[in-house]
């Protein structure tokens, strides 16, 4: 969101009793995502609001900026009034990016299910040329194609997906499909996650940058 809007929202949340507290990073190198701020959290930790400044972490926002999402947003009616939500095309791209960013871990079952429902109900509304262009500019071609191929392997309705946008690649792809199919019977360790990042279709430049951030963070953890 624009800086002025973000400052007003932060002030509103702080007036309601929420504030920023330095959270302990899950990894020893600190935080490497640039998509959101630390959550505004209540003193008891029961409530928090995470303010996103990009639709998703680098590199996706190279191809899908915050301004792009707002410009294409559609209005839907709810019981509490009208709200703006991303376009169908952007929702599908974001679901795929979230799953790829988190290396197809258990937490990514939700975006996978969301994408399956979206393709079944609204697949004809996806602007596939725009989708393909944005994932290419956003350097997400390989992981997004894998995400769509996983959906296909798991039985989702992928008839509307352009064939060249799905790509099943090697043993690691088979492991990903098995993880979802078996409801993640085992939790991947650090080495397994590193292997998945290297082999699960992330582009070399993306992996190189992330690992450089991690290496730097071992000396000066990113806050």
pLDDT for 22 equals 74
Residue 150 lies in a domain: yes
Q: Is pLDDT at 193 greater than 80 in this prediction?
A: no
Residue 68 lies in a domain: no
| 23-27, 109-113, 166-170: least confident range | 23-27
Q: Are residues 133 and 30 in the same domain?
A: no
Residue 188 lies in a domain: yes
- Rounded CA gap, 69 and 108, in Å? 22
Q: Are residues 166 and 118 in the same domain?
A: yes
Q: Are residues 41 and 111 in the same domain?
A: no
Q: Are residues 91 and 164 in the same domain?
A: yes
pLDDT in tens, 49-96: 988 889 999 999 999 999 999 999 999 999 999 999 999 999 999 999
Residue 182 lies in a domain: yes
Picking from 212, 176, 178, the residue whose alpha carbon sits closest to that of residue 195 is: 176
| Model-wide pTM > 0.95 | no
pLDDT for 154 equals 94
Residue 202 lies in a domain: yes
pLDDT for 38 equals 80
Q: Are residues 43 and 100 in the same domain?
A: no
Q: Which domain holds residue 195?
A: 87-219
Mean model confidence pLDDT for the chain:
88
Count of structural domains, the chain: 2
Residue 74 lies in a domain: no
Q: Are residues 101 and 28 in the same domain?
A: no
The region, left, alpha or beta by phi > 0 then psi within -120 to 50, assigned to residue 220 is: beta
């Amino acid at each position: 969101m624009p800086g002025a809007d973000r400052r007003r929202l932060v002030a509103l949340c702080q007036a309601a009793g929420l504030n920023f507290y330095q959270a302990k990073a899950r990894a020893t190198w600190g935080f490497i995502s640039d998509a959101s701020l630390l959550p505004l959290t209540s003193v008891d930790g029961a409530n928090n609001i995470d303010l996103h400044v990009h639709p998703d972490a680098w590199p996706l926002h190279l191809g899908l900026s915050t301004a792009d999402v707002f410009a294409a947003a559609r209005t839907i009616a709810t019981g509490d009034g009208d709200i703006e939500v991303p376009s169908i095309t952007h929702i599908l791209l974001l679901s795929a990016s979230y799953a790829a960013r988190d290396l197809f871990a258990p937490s990514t079952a939700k975006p996978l299910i969301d994408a399956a429902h979206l393709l079944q109900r609204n697949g004809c509304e996806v602007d596939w040329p725009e989708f393909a262009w944005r994932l290419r500019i956003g350097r997400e071609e390989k992981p997004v194609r894998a995400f769509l191929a996983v959906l296909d392997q798991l039985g989702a309705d992928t008839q509307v997906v352009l064939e060249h946008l799905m790509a099943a690649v090697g043993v690691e792809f088979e492991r990903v499909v098995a993880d979802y199919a078996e409801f993640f019977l085992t939790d991947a360790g650090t080495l397994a996650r590193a292997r998945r990042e290297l082999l699960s279709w992330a582009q070399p430049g993306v992996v190189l940058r992330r690992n450089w951030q991690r290496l730097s963070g071992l000396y000066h953890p990113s806050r």
